[in-house]
């Protein structure tokens, strides 16, 4: 089985090797990585990884009509690796697939859902955990507190990414789900969620978020480390969004994702340290990893010379972890956002 992970990166060198080692351990056999406008050496790191046979690197220079991410997706649709893949998933470098069944790999997940042609992995938001300076360790070992398994608000926390069979039912990649379905073949689409539940037909054509108020994670989840440390969040804000239609990074983005309500170390049960050590044993990659971390320190220092960035950093220091809303509190929001008698309004 060939499983392809597609991603688009800019200035992610400090996190790239951990992400890559983890997803190789999960069972992705191929990686198609697009880079643009890198200042931290991520592109050089990707070149080295390609030389070592770990991935395929495609430079994605602008300008782009819809942003670098959509340009990368369109290029990925035309790439030979996409045609050769049995399963495909688009991921960001702050998203880590976390499988809870069998040996925690993709084959184990697919064995648990043999009828599936698409599996939605719902985000589980991992909070900042009070980490202030640029990250010195590893993402999965540092940020170990998250939203509870059942979260009623915000709706963005229920968004998912889709692992789908590359069987021709869908003609195009999308950020959250495959697009351009062949309507004549949709009867063959079998969508399941990360809890193993068969999903309604709406998921096969357009849904991008899971139902509210239920545990979507018993088989698999997508750990979303959207914030990182406070310093790294400033650097992320400075970089900007890869999808031009998305809202900007700001305190609203932070508050809707900074959940530290429960401890979740389950991702560490899949040990990828050996693969990570193998990568860092390469002198070139080790040097580039160190340089990328140094770049983040320097960029944070540069940003802090400007009042708007100092003000944002101060707000991050002031803000506590986000409070988990009760079912009744979330309903106050949802009843004004959804037609009557929907599942969300019956919470």
Q: Would you place residue 243 in the very low, low, confident or very high pLDDT band (cuts 50, 70, 90)?
A: low
Distances (CA, A) of 337 to 154, 330, 334, 345: 12, 11, 5, 9
**343: nearest Cα among 320, 322, 327:** 327
**Confidence (pTM):** 0.95
DSSP string over 187-207: GG--EEETTSPBPPTHHHHT-
Using 50, 70 and 90 to split pLDDT, how confident is the model at 212? confident
Classify 37 as helix, strand or coil. coil
Q: What is the pLDDT of residues 145-193, one digit of tens each?
A: 999 999 999 999 999 999 999 999 999 999 999 999 999 999 999 999 9
pLDDT in tens, 290-327: 999 999 999 999 999 999 999 999 999 999 999 999 99
Report the half-sphere exposure of 75 (CA within 13 A, side-chain side): 21
Angle separating helix axes 283-303 and 230-239, nearest 10 degrees: 90
Cis check for the bond before 154: say yes or no (omega within 30 of 0). yes
Could you tell me if residue 210 is inside a domain? yes
Distance set, CA 296 to CA 59, 93, 158 (Å)? 21, 16, 30
CA angle (157 as vertex; 254, 134 as ends), nearest 5: 35
CB 324 within 8 A of CB 261: yes
Q: Is residue 74 part of a domain?
A: no
The structural domain count of the chain equals: 1
Q: Which of 326, 206, 211, 223 is nearest to 270 (CA)?
A: 223
183 part of a folded domain: yes
Average pLDDT, whole number, for the chain? Answer: 94
The answer to the question of residue 231 being in a domain is yes
Beta bridge partners of 121: 161
**pLDDT grade, residue 340 (50/70/90)?**
very low
Q: How far apart are CA 58 and CA 76, in angstroms?
A: 9
d(CA 26, CA 22): 6
Of the candidates 57, 64, 62, the residue with the CA atom closest to the CA atom of residue 41: 57
Tokens of 68: 């670098």
Q: In this structure, is residue 176 part of a structural domain? A: yes
Let me know if residue 345 belongs to a domain. no
CA atoms within 13 A on the CB side of 11: 21
In the structure encoding, which two tokens stand for residue 214, read together?
Answer: 């239920």
Q: Are 257 and 250 in contact (CB under 8 A)?
A: no
Strand partners, 209: 159
Respond yes or no on whether the N-terminal peptide bond of residue 238 is cis (omega within 30° of 0): no
Domain extent at residue 159: 93-277+289-334
33 lies in some domain: no
């Amino acid at each position: 089985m060939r499983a392809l992970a597609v991603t688009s990166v800019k200035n992610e060198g400090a996190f790239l090797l951990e992400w890559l080692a983890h997803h190789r351990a999960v069972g992705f056999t191929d990686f198609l990585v697009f880079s643009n406008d890198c200042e931290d050496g991520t592109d050089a790191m990707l070149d080295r990884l390609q030389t070592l046979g770990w991935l395929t690197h495609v430079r994605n220079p602008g300008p782009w009509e819809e942003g670098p991410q959509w340009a990368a997706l369109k290029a990925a649709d035309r790439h030979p690796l996409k045609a050769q893949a049995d399963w495909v998933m688009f991921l960001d470098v702050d998203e880590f697939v976390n499988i809870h069944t069998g040996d925690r790999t993709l084959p184990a997940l697919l064995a648990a859902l043999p009828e599936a042609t698409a599996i939605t992995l719902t985000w589980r938001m991992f909070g900042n955990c009070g980490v202030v300076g640029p990250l010195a360790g590893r993402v999965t070992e540092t940020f170990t507190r998250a939203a509870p398994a059942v979260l009623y608000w915000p709706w963005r926390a229920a968004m998912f990414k889709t692992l789908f069979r590359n069987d021709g039912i869908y003609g195009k990649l999308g950020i959250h789900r495959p697009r351009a379905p062949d309507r004549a073949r949709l009867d063959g689409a079998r969508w399941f969620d990360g809890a193993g539940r068969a999903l309604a037909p709406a998921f096969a054509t357009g849904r991008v978020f899971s139902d509210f108020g239920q545990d979507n994670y018993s088989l698999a989840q997508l750990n979303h480390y959207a914030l990182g440390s406070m310093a790294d969040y400033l650097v992320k804000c400075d970089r900007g969004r890869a999808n031009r239609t998305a809202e900007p990074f700001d305190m609203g983005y932070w508050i809707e994702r900074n959940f530290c309500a429960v401890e979740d170390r389950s991702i560490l049960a899949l040990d990828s340290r050996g693969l990570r050590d193998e990568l860092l044993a390469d002198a070139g990659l080790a040097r580039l990893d160190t340089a990328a971390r140094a770049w983040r320190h320097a960029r944070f220092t540069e940003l802090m010379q400007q009042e708007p960035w100092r003000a944002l950093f101060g707000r991050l220091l002031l803000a506590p972890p986000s409070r988990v809303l009760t079912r009744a509190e979330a309903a106050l929001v949802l009843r004004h956002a959804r037609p009557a008698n929907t599942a969300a309004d019956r919470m």
